[in-house]
Amino acid sequence: MNDDPAHRPKPPSTSRPAAQSTQLAYTADWKHFTRWCRLQGASPLPPSPELVGLYLANLASPPDTSPALSASTIDRRLSGLVWNYAQRGTSLDRQDSHITTVLTRIKRTHTRPPVQKQAIRLDDILAMAATLPFDLRGLRDRAILLLGHACALGRSEIVSLDIGHSTIPGSSGQIEILDDGAVLTLKTRTGWRKVEIGRGSTDQTCPVHAVEQWLHFAKIDHGPIFVRTSRDGKQALDQRLNSKHVARLIKSTVLNSGIRADLPEAERLALYSGHSLRKGMLVSDQDVRSGASRKSA
């Protein structure tokens, strides 16, 4: 008979049951912890906050060639131990100072900073737009990229645009196309703001022309501007696009255009998001102003 406390029958528990996938992860956590305890000549039962603190520190800075775990994974491991102790009729206080002190140190020294999103500059956005076909979807996505970049729009602002005033759900902005450009009226937390853009020097790079082409071939004269298309891509539907489409569009065209091809694909995808459009126009404006200053000097 196996007297290892880690393998004793589990008594009934009154704790809230975890999802099946979570239980599998917690079971693996317990096996890893009990194996570590055996190697240290220690017992996992009864629960010892000091021992658990040493275990968590070991996960963050393993003495062998094992990879160090991230702060979030270590926190998940701790949750697994708390759950496993509860299943065995006892409890582990995760607020004990032996545990909280270690966790604080781990989060301070091992938490990875968020990836700063790369700005999409003018040359980048033109290269991205050039990868799109000239079918209905391509016309729509080209208009999204060029308009979003020219007006420094967020992805939710892009998909919420309507032609004229609208009370359709999801609408929080309007666009009015004029002979010399376009005027966007956008709803913000503090009120409304207007964005005016002129026409580009060529139709291929003009955001206003791109929107006009999309609206013409999609036969849209009112309501949401950017909508889904039929499966065959030949007809525009009434359903407004989800903002996630803008994020996916940016990532796919970044890859297809070869931007930052010096980096692995995963790093390139992490560098660009919907925020890159808004950030890109601001950076492009700064480049223009700094270039003008150098010329005048």
The pLDDT, as a whole number, for residue 170 is: 66
User: What's the mean per-residue pLDDT of the chain?
Assistant: 85
Q: In the structure encoding, which two tokens stand for residue 160, read together? A: 């919420």
Q: Which of 47-61, 242-256, 263-277 has the lowest mean pLDDT?
A: 263-277
Q: Are 136 and 217 in contact (CB under 8 A)?
A: yes
CA distances 183 to 122, 186, 203, Å, are: 21, 10, 18
Q: 11-61: per-residue pLDDT in tens?
A: 444 445 556 778 888 999 999 999 999 999 999 999 999 999 999 999 998
Q: Is the pLDDT at 191 greater than 50, yes or no? A: yes
Report the C-alpha dihedral over residues 216, 220, 221, 223, rounded to 10 degrees.
-150
pTM exceeds 0.75 for this model: no
CA 156/CA 152 separation, integer angstroms: 12
How much is the pLDDT for 12? 42
What residues contact 189, with CB distance under 8 A and at least 6 apart?
Answer: none
Region label for 152, one of left (φ > 0), alpha (ψ between -120 and 50) or beta (otherwise)? left
**What is the model's pLDDT at position 10?**
47
pLDDT, tens digit, 9 for 90 and up, residues 51-72 = 999 999 999 988 877 788 888 8
**Residue 83 corresponds to which amino acid?**
W
Structural domains of the chain, ranges and CATH numbers in brackets: 19-110 (1.10.150.130), 122-285 (1.10.443.10)
> Can you give the pLDDT at residue 63?
83
